[in-house]
């Protein structure tokens, strides 16, 4: 029984030590006017990722997201599955870690 407790503790420590990072992503394609931002938010919330998503004036979508590296990768790969959208390219850049309380859709006037 002692070894099971030790293994459980090691697993918990490993899960707690996953690196948290912040990325920004620029998504191009047919991604505005098709519910893409709502899809991004749904994916992010399902993966416990915080951040923001907004339309840009050039027709692209901007995402800033904070989470564990592997989870962020899963979010990015899931963007191609958003219904109604056609994702042509995603440019990703790592930023200094930022804290967000939620994942929000930003609507610019």
Domain ranges of the chain: 19-106
CATH among 3.30.70.260, 3.30.70.100, 3.90.1150.10, 1.10.10.60 for 19-106: 3.30.70.100
Question: What are 108's two structure tokens?
Answer: 């610019």
Task: Say which residues have a Cβ less than 8 Å from residue 34's Cβ, sequence separation at least 6.
Answer: 82, 84, 85
Q: Which one of the listed residues 41, 55, 88, 107 is annotated catalytic? A: 55
Is-catalytic flag, 55?
yes
Rounded CA separation 12/62 (Å): 34
Q: Which one of the listed residues 37, 41, 98, 107 is annotated catalytic? A: 37
The pTM is what?
0.83
Is-catalytic flag, 37?
yes
Residue-level pLDDT, tens digit, the chain, 109 residues: 444 555 545 545 545 557 899 999 999 999 999 999 999 999 999 999 999 999 999 999 999 999 999 999 999 999 999 999 999 999 999 999 999 999 999 997 5
């Amino acid at each position: 029984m002692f070894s099971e407790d030790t293994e459980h503790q090691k697993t918990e420590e490993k899960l707690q030590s996953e690196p948290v990072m912040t990325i920004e992503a620029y998504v191009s394609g047919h991604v505005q006017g098709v519910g893409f931002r709502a899809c991004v938010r749904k994916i992010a919330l399902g993966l416990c990722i915080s951040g923001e998503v907004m339309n840009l004036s050039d027709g692209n979508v901007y995402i800033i997201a904070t989470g564990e590296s592997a989870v962020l990768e899963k979010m990015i790969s899931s963007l191609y599955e958003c219904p109604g959208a056609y994702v042509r390219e995603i440019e990703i850049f790592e930023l200094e870690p930022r804290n967000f309380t939620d994942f929000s859709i930003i609507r610019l006037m």
